[in-house]
Structure 1
Amino acid sequence: MDVGSYVVEKAKTASRAARILSNMGPNLKNKALDDMAEALQNNKELILQANKLDLDNAKKSGKGKAFIDRLELNQKRIDSMAGGLIKVASLPDPIGEVSKMWKRPNGLRIGKVRVPLGTIGIIYEARPNVTVDAAALCLKSGNSVILRGGKEAINSNVAIYNTINKAAVSAGLPEGAIEFIDITEREAVETLMKLNEYVDVLIPRGGRGLINSIVKNSTVPVIQTGIGNCHVYVDESADLSMAENIVVNAKTQRPAVCNAMETLLVHKNAAENFLPHLGETLKSLGVEIRGCSETKKLIPYAKLATEEDYDTEFLDLILAVKVVNSLDEAMDHIYKYGTKHSEAIITNDYNASQRFLNEVDAAAVYVNASTRFTDGEQFGFGAEIGISTQKLHARGPMGLNELTTSKYVVYGEGQIRK
């Protein structure tokens, strides 16, 4: 098989479908989403069997617990995917929304209208749920989608794609509304990244290596998502009981996701009263601590942190810790090592909280709350296609509105420019 030609044909089909989808009303799109949810439930056993093949292969190749967690499906997770489809169907359709209308002195009436981006390529790694989430959000927002998942989840993704695509087409969506590239060779991605004629935007979801490679090599516009070297800073005025609850949640509730905390910063005046008890709590939860020399004095079992540890998105039960002298030092550390995803301060000092909110550059900045809330559903968007960590077009959880753009519609009565 000629991989390049195969991918081009997929892109052409998706591009043709995008023209139809852009003018499709909400009722048909919603019916397709509901039917896709029902199909997932009806084919649950088939999907789980496919997922077991991927899990067995991952375990044989020595993949870690965090990787397995991202890859694994179960009945609850399939129920959640189906529920997500139904929830997206219930959301207001953004297409055709007039955000502004005004009249010029010459009589022209100008309106700004929300329209789809077109054809969106999603390149992702070992998270089969992305196959469903991405398809749902793209379809609802009037876009066609080309999905290319990682080889480690190929069996799961194929089973899910076949299930939801059949349901979508049966409901009346055009062929190509959802495309899936089932070739795992690198050449498939290399081709997709260059198809500006047919693909309007690429959204990579995965680790630093995947995202950096696509940003550097793609000629198709890219929205960067997902790398989350997130910090929690415990200020000297913090309620230490609340701080411990937030830190434990941010690190351990689900460590393999991009909004989990990776580095804890603690003011020197709070460290002695905070770190020893926290260390015992985290130890009981299986967290490995890598800290500075001051941290090691207060948490004897901690390993000495390296520069690399502070620059790492662990996605695992590993936590880097540093004792800092001031709020400024904490923010300087975040500026140096952060990935502009999610950052939090725990404090009872209003001025400190406001400085943190104003001066820390990230998609989401928190006061006295866990970074784990950076999520489309938690923000009330219904769902998300990823967390954008860049500044152009979209930033933060990308829901339906972030998968659209705008165009101007102009009504005249024979006006000409003089």
Structure 2
Amino acid sequence: MTAVLSRMNDMPDTSDVTAYVNELGRRAATAARSLASASTERKNKALTAAAQAMRDNRARLLEANAKDVDSVKAAGKPAAFIDRLILDEDRVNAIADALDQIAALPDPVGRVLHTTERPNGLTIERVATPLGVIGMIYESRPNVGADAGALCLKSGNAVILRGGSESLNSTRVIVECLAEGLKAAELPLECIQMIDTTDRNAVQALLTCAEYVDLVIPRGGKGLVSLVRDQARVPTLLHLDGNCHTYVNAAADLTKAAAIVKNAKLRRTGVCGATESLVVDRSIAKDFLPMALDALGDCEVRGEADAREIEARIKPATDEDFYTEYLDTTLSVKLVDGPDAAIPFISEHSSAHTDAIVTEDAAIAERFLNEIDSAVVMHNASTQFSDGGEFGMGAEIGIATGKMHARGPVGLEQLTSFKYRVRGNGQTRP
């Protein structure tokens, strides 16, 4: 680790943040050219070595994380925010395991996506290629830096990580471990770099580093995503907030529905796939709402007068509640008259991240899956399955809620573009 730290310390001065970020971009662009042609074996060696470095440096990482956690606790951050930041032995092991899982996945680079033989004898192939240099901006979760670094490495992209200031100590150790992997595989350390300053202007500098950065991916709250959307000169892949819905249809198995709602809301309240709004058919509300409230325990549920008349534990809701991503033990509930009302309500209030229906009626389920235009739509399953690891991607760099280039969990394949390779035998165009 000492040699890696020495090399990583050979970084540009951060006093001029724009010049600093541009230099990181220049170095990343140079490294990306080497990484684009690296063999699968070398990339996998880097990942497995980084995973081992993560395990070997578990104590250092937990010590660094404890400093970050103490700082945000002193600043009075909410419990859900702190939960996203905290690392323990299980979470560090999960980070390392994710690196090994990404190493075991097929290499997305060089895949022949399509081949055409033209009448004139030309052979035209569409082949998957890396995007180049990716800027990753994220808040609080230290594991995002490890996942992003590993996914970009395996997909042949250099990455510049800009984690939140609250996780700076944790991110440093994670990047050092990733650098150990790069060193073991004799790949440039500049393939994975971090912006090591808390200067807020660094985000703006990354968003305008169009000479070197090919794509910026933000992962955080509405404020961060809005900033990126409004100020970026670099192409972006937006990860919007997760105002996710679970709709319990009249034909639902209510016992199954209560278990799904409990998991969808409470398994981890701080993840973007957590259900924030429960939509219930009015015809079953008297039977289901007490079951749901029992399952949800201490979770605060807010609803309109019709829901409160059925269940006294429900507190008054405002219109804003139905647009809110709580990321906490709070849930809104809306009563509707069947799918004709549920689908428009969800379409209006959803952030197009993940929405689910619980029903035993196959026709209604298919209608919901077809008409709800979110990145992920589910039937009889918890919205917390909206995750790249659960989708077999090993990990994800985020959930894209737009419709261009990639949508839903962004894994290895979504971090590639393509080019055409044309082979001829002397053909000239008439």
Secondary structure of the residue that 1:409 maps to in structure 2?
strand
Q: Answer yes or no: is the 8 Å Cα contact 2:126–2:420 preserved in 1.
A: yes
Aligned match of 2:37 in 23, 27, 34?
23
Q: Which residue of 1 aligns with 2:85?
A: 71
- Deviations along 1:169-201, one digit per CA (max 9) or x if unpaired, are 243111310010011111111011011110000
Cα deviation for residue 257 of structure 1 reads 0.3
**Corresponding position of 2:114:** 100
Alignment correspondent of 2:53: 39
1:309 corresponds to: 321
How many residues get paired? 416
Equivalent residue, structure 1, for 2:94: 80
CA distance in 2, matches of 1:338, 1:378: 22
8 Å contact from structure 2 (residues 213, 234) kept in 1: yes
1:342 aligns with 2:389: no
Aligned pair partner of 1:132 in 130, 146, 149: 146
1:390 to 397, 402, 409: 402
CA distance in 2, matches of 1:413, 1:80: 52
Instruction: Give the structure 2 partner of residue 404 of structure 1.
Output: 416
In the alignment, which residue of structure 2 is the partner of 1:323? 335
Query: Does the 8 Å CA contact 2:140/2:164 hold for their aligned counterparts?
Result: yes
1:226 and 1:386 in contact (8 A); partners too: no
Once residues 215 and 83 of structure 2 are traced to their aligned partners in structure 1, the CA distance between those partners, rounded to angstroms, is: 29
Q: What amino acid is aligned across from residue 131 of structure 2 in structure 1?
A: L
Alignment of 1:101-116 (within 5 A): 101-116=115-130
Q: Which runs of 5+ in 2 are unaligned?
A: 1-14
Q: Say whether 1:358 aligns with 2:370.
A: yes
Q: Which residue of the other structure, out of 273, 281, 306, is the alignment partner of 1:294?
A: 306
- Normalising by the residue count of structure 1, what TM-score does the alignment of the two structures yield? 0.98
By how many angstroms is 1:226 displaced?
A: 4.5
**8 Å contact 2:49–2:180 — kept in the other structure?**
no
- 1:153 equivalent in alignment to 2:167: yes
Counterpart of 2:237 (choices 197, 203, 223) is 223
Contact 2:45–2:181 (CA<8 Å) still a contact in 1?
Answer: no
Question: SS where residue 16 of structure 1 aligns?
Answer: helix
Please give the secondary structure, in 1, of the residue aligned with 2:197: coil
The structure 1 residue matched to 2:295, chosen from 278, 281, 284, is 281
Partner of 1:12: 26
Structure 1 vs Structure 2: percent identity of aligned residues? Answer: 48
- 1:95-149 CA distances to partner (integer Å, 9 max, x unpaired)? 1111111111111110010100000000000010011100000000000000000
1-structure distance, mates of 2:229, 2:367: 32
Q: Aligned partners of 2:57, 2:395: CA distance in 1, in Å?
A: 23
Is the partner of 1:100 in helix, strand or coil? strand
Q: Amino acid of the residue matched to residue 175 of structure 1?
A: L
* 1:255 pairs with 2:244: no
1:204 aligned counterpart, secondary structure: strand
Instruction: Give TM-score, length-normalised by structure 2.
Output: 0.95
- Structure 2 distance, partners of 1:381, 1:160, is 21
Instruction: Measure how far apart 1:167 and its partner are.
Output: 3.2
Q: 1:184 aligns with which of 184, 187, 198?
A: 198
